[in-house]
Amino acid sequence: MTELIQKIEDKKVQVGVVGMGYVGLPLAVEIANSGIKVTGIDILSNKVNAINRGESYISDVPSAKVKENLAAGRLRAVTDFGVIKQLDAIIICVPTPLGKTKDPDLSMVVSAVERIAENQRPNQLVVLESTTYPGTTEELMLPMLEQNGYKVGKSVFLAFSPERVDPGNPTYNTSNTPKVIGGVTPQCLEVTMKLYRNFIQKVVPVSSSRAAEMVKLLENTFRSVNIGLVNEMALMCDRLKVDVWEVIEAAASKPFGFMPFQPGPGLGGHCIPIDPLYLSWKLKTLNYRARFIELASEINADMPQYVVNKVNDALNDFSKSVKNSRVLIIGVSYKKDIDDLRESPALDIIQLLQSRGAKVMYHDPYVPEIQFDNTALNSIALEDGLAKSDCAVIVTNHSSIDYKKVVDQAPVVLDTRNATRGMHSSKIIKL
């Protein structure tokens, strides 16, 4: 342990990041920015080759930074897990999706830990950042890393530090977002904190890896439940003929006891739609039903269907049916001003409309094409889409889109994001 800490303090520690996606690449670049040598490890050769050419495929990471660290010898990428033998610390940032039955799919974490164990040597630190259920680090990872005779806290160090990446956030990035760290032992916590303090401005220690795992799930369960509440409020306001956006804005004037959340067409991104269900699944194994989580998930998951029903009603007002109508989806990424399609409600809305016979088009300046299941579409020019459409649906409110033009040129506009706020037209239908 003393030798590893000395390497960290001298910035001679060699770090590897497994998984070069939305979490791993920004983290690897921040580590390199701090002057520490880092190796990105990914099974996808196209990502590895891009990094080694000095190219970033993540919008929040400038290619210039990749090139700078590459030229300085602080950053490289490989597909060969054999490099782990040379590393002092390995940080795992692989996806943890849900399976078709809504059970946690930790296959990529298991695979990464297996490869680490195959190439393990004494005095290495292993940190998991991938979101998972409480107990994963100790119950799943620890036995795999101790199977070769190593002892956690002595010859191998193990911790969990949940990723807090918010794609497209202009204020908070990997470096200035506080980082929660939970070690399996006090020694594990000490080593991990010393490493992360090199490239994270503020680290927040907790008593265990299990507590750190729970922190991440609380953060996103909080958002999921509150979004579920405001989505249900939108459904109620619709029946009461009240503008939910006006209600939220007025309620937000209260200087205490209220935090505004916004309704929308459904939840997207890798975290909020998925993470709470990890906690719900874990509690089921302990004979406990997480009722708030399940109800919020049900409400949020039903929002795309509600949007499609609103499209149906809007077209009926023009004596048209959804079948054979031309519907323009405006914005398909899961939130504004990014290119991330993960769990985007737009994909569900497109499929639901197509299943009713609608001819669906979309416009998104950040997403030139989409391919999922049996659907493949290319983004079309906004003007072309508006000219051809029977109805326009604002699903993602990108800042660069001219919403006055949308209202002026579309026959009818369903606005799920309040992008047309302040505009007055009989064409506009709110969520």
Catalytic residues: 271
Which CA distances in Å does 213 have to 43, 93, 132, 363?
26, 14, 7, 38
Q: Are 347 and 395 in contact (CB under 8 A)?
A: no
Residues 6+ apart with CB under 8 A from 175: 30, 33, 199, 200, 201
AA identity, residue 306: Y
AA identity, residue 240: L
Angle at 401 between CA 399 and CA 407, to 5 degrees: 125
Q: Compute φ and ψ for 168, nearest 5 degrees.
A: 85, 0
How many contiguous H segments (helices) and E segments (strands) does the chain have?
Answer: 15, 15
C-alpha closest to that of 21 among 43, 38, 53, 54:
43
- SS3 percent helix, strand, coil of the chain, rounded to 5, is 40, 15, 45
Q: Are 102 and 76 in contact (CB under 8 A)?
A: no
Rounded CA separation 357/236 (Å): 29
**Residue 116: CA count within 13 A, CB half-sphere:** 36
Inter-axis angle of helices 345-355 and 291-316, nearest 10: 50
DSSP 180: E
Pull the structure tokens for residue 320. Answer: 């048209």
C-alpha closest to that of 393 among 336, 333, 332, 317:
332
Angle at 64 between CA 63 and CA 70, to 5 degrees: 90
Rounded CA separation 239/237 (Å): 5
Concatenating the DSSP letter of every residue in 246-267 gives HHHHHHTT-SSS-------S--
Measured over the CA atoms of residue 81, residue 86, residue 92 and residue 93, the dihedral's sign is: negative
**How are beta strands 179-183 and 156-160 bridged, if at all?**
antiparallel
